[in-house]
Chain A
């Protein structure tokens, strides 16, 4: 049967075009790759090549025709043994084409069914929400005092002892013993194959780690600070976070990206950014930002065992701080479970990471003034424990969020939206977001203090929402 040559779509957006010029005439023999015609699209004039070989039996659309719809037959190609008389068999009328059909059907087929349309905030109507918060270890468990730094190292070392394919790579992690001494002693125990010093080349070694994860290993990538991970963010997001989806579930990147995040002290704008909200935006990543040493330990062990890429945001100021850590064989804390540090009835203060320091200090001072605050540590930002936050807000009817990052598009902004959608009727005051100021971090000591969120600001916000 003669083959119809159809008006081609020559760009992702083209729906019609001008058949500017025919470069063949009826009776010409063409083979695949020969240029048949010139076609003007909305963007440019393009050459149109033959796909099949044969003889041009009939030209259906004259040169110079404008507004020729994509998929309209423009010529008929005869194969060996066919003649122009056979042309009657094919329809010369503009074929509706499969594109048009698909398009018409698309909206119906693609309309997400309600149950499939999952959003972080489940819609509307006040319902009973149950807090997820429960103790992380059994009562009576023996405790020891550890710094965040030691807890992190123990978590990594314990998992590396269990799984040969877990390894640590980054700048100065091995012989230098860690730029912030987090990996102290690990080279001695695990050797240079598993504790790998890299050159200063974040984009490159992050890509190598992603490839190693595709290849069956479980890399822990240390960034000397997350500020430097901006060099590598394409590999983190486009390669690590999206591949599982793009491969239809065939392969992903089980790995941990970790290192200090946010402001330290007096290191200026390029070394002081908090990236919690950046990474929290990405489907495919899990994002953790702990405060206490026990959380650092329990969540790092969970992160290493997680089959997805995990962003583990640490804090340099907290590294040296001591907390009680349970003495348990395999102490893990699940993702997506907030911790209630202090129960209270007047207001809910939600924070994470070093923001908890301001939240807890504020709660203590507020208590002296007779304001009983409930303080929630999110611990993981993605997945986020919405229910614990909502249950608390439904009880206290007021909420203040605290974080160190920039105020625009912050985690607090997101929480406010979720609270508004799911607990609107419970609110007795607008939610207030305490965040870092909307300025690059200054160096001068006085200005730096002003740029960061402060305990006093949290106190003032609480007084505002409680109308004191």
Chain B
């Protein structure tokens, strides 16, 4: 992993740092609460937590502009919070309730927000990659200068459609940033057991796509890399690859006994590389925030997260008539003969 930048870069303001701290902590506390609700049986099925990877989405969202798009895999709660979606609506989707972003019909892995340009939430590993390239295809076709962040993991990076997408994105100079969130484990398979060459960011070289590796535990490094990638895309120079080295503290899903790595390995990352502690240290050591200031932020986040959990518990289950809606954008075809 690349070495961490020593201190706050001078062009980052204290307010920005506080925002990153807030946004990352919100994701962490939200995910912890989601884990808790899962344990209570309020969240069903699969639930993939983002804890440890918070700096990736917060750093890139800090570099994004209004109208930019994002699409990701099933480990999507962090992306949704980072792009400004309402924690209440996200949590209520996790509990399968009417107040969820998809009215409870999508669940943890399948959530969308047209308003925030969040295009899912995809449950099929790698399927979001051509979709992200396609969103960029639409933007280029429509002649705007938006970019699409297409997130996928080191596991998805071995899917064939990723390279089909690289080829066409380069061929047609699509404004898409392929963000490889390399958390080093594809479910239970470590990168070295699944991936022939460790430098995934170089896999665009065959298509002429520039790529770089970024320290994903450092929100400032992620933001800086994001800005560079965005500038490349907006200039009409085609796609860009960011391989963001990160780490997930929790299991792949809630039912992962995590026997493929040691507790010490996880603990070492948490104590030495934690992205939130990093910003916290910058804030305190730089004299930008007191312990009390940070406590205030912690408290406000606890309030937001508890409120989202309450909302997600109180919101009713979707009405039974919802079973039959949203299948077709016009009418249910079998109604046409009624």
Interface residues in chain A, defined as those with a beta carbon under 8 Å from any beta carbon in chain B: 6-12, 14, 32-33, 35, 41, 43-47, 49, 51, 70-71, 97-100, 102-103, 109-113, 116, 118-120, 122, 132, 165, 167, 193, 198-199, 201, 203-217, 234-235, 238-239, 243-252, 254, 283-284, 286, 306-308, 335-336, 382-387
Contact = CB atoms under 8 A, between A and B. Distances in A.
A335 B336 CA distance: 9
Contacts of A193: 141
Contacts of B105: 245-246, 248
Interface in B289-338: 313, 317, 320-321, 323-330, 332-338
B218 interface: no
Interface in B50-90: 51, 69, 71
Nearest to A200: B164
A33 B164 contact: no
A207 B113 contact: no
B247 interface: no
Interface in B220-264: 249-251, 254-259, 263
B329 A207 contact: no
B335 A118 contact: yes
Nearest to B114: A250
B134 A209 contact: yes
14 contacts: A6-B40, A12-B46, A44-B255, A44-B259, A116-B323, A118-B324, A118-B335, A205-B164, A208-B137, A211-B138, A217-B142, A234-B124, A238-B127, A248-B103
A308 B330 contact: yes
Contacts of A11: 254-255
A210 B131 contact: yes
B167 to A, nearest CB: 6
Contacts of A165: 141-142
B275 interface: no
Closest 10 CB pairs of A and B: A211-B134, A207-B130, A204-B164, A99-B41, A215-B138, A8-B39, A383-B333, A11-B255, A307-B329, A248-B102
B120 A235 contact: no
B123 interface: yes
Contact of B333 (A12, A208, A286): A286
A289 to B, nearest CB: 15
Contacts of A243: 112, 120
Nearest to A95: B40
A44 B256 CA distance: 8
A382 B332 CA distance: 10
B280 interface: no
A204 B39 contact: no
B334 A383 contact: yes
A54 B143 CA distance: 55
Given A248-B326, A254-B329, A385-B337, A204 B112 contact: no
Given A10-B39, A167-B141, A383 B336 contact: yes
Contacts of B330: 306-308
A239 to B, nearest CB: 6
Contacts of B256: 46
Given A32-B32, A244-B329, A283-B327, A217 B141 contact: yes
Contacts of A201: 164, 167-168
A177 B326 CA distance: 37
A210 B326 contact: no
B137 A212 contact: yes
B273 interface: no
Given A206-B130, A208-B134, A246-B105, A41 B255 contact: yes
Contacts of A384: 333-334
Contacts of B164: 199, 201, 203-205, 207
Contacts of A12: 44-46, 255
B129 interface: yes
A45 B257 contact: yes
Interface of B: 32-33, 35-36, 38-42, 44-46, 51, 69, 71, 100-106, 110-114, 119-124, 127, 129-139, 141-142, 160-161, 164-165, 167-168, 171, 249-251, 254-259, 263, 270, 313, 317, 320-321, 323-330, 332-338
B130 A235 contact: yes
Nearest to B93: A248
B122 A204 contact: no
B40 A9 contact: yes
Contacts of A336: 333, 336-337
Given A33-B249, A284-B327, A335-B333, A248 B101 contact: yes
A106 B123 CA distance: 26
Nearest to A219: B134
B236 to A, nearest CB: 15
A245 B326 contact: yes
Contacts of B257: 43-47
Nearest to A100: B41
A19 to B, nearest CB: 13
A384 B336 CA distance: 9
A251 B71 CA distance: 13
Contact of A205 (B168, B250, B323): B168
A247 B102 contact: yes
B337 A98 contact: no
Contacts of B119: 211, 214, 251
A239 B131 contact: yes
A207 B131 CA distance: 5
A340 B83 CA distance: 54
B137 A252 contact: no
B148 to A, nearest CB: 8
Given A207-B127, A207-B129, A215 B171 contact: no
A459 B125 CA distance: 49
Contacts of B41: 9, 70-71, 97-100, 102-103
A97 B139 CA distance: 48
Contacts of B127: 207, 234-235, 238-239
A238 B124 contact: yes
Contacts of A254: 329
B130 A210 contact: yes
A205 B129 CA distance: 11
Given A44-B257, A246-B106, A308-B329, A99 B40 contact: yes
Contacts of A203: 130, 160-161, 164
A116 B321 contact: yes
B334 A118 contact: yes
B111 to A, nearest CB: 8
Contacts of B134: 207-215
Given A116-B323, A205-B164, A211-B133, 8 more contacts: A9-B39, A98-B313, A198-B168, A211-B131, A212-B141, A215-B139, A244-B327, A248-B106
A199 B53 CA distance: 35
Contact of B35 (A51, A100, A248): A51
Nearest to B176: A211
Contacts of B44: 12
B137 A112 contact: no
B191 to A, nearest CB: 23
A116 B324 contact: yes
A97 B334 contact: no
A247 B255 CA distance: 26
B227 to A, nearest CB: 23
Contacts of B100: 248
A47 B266 CA distance: 13
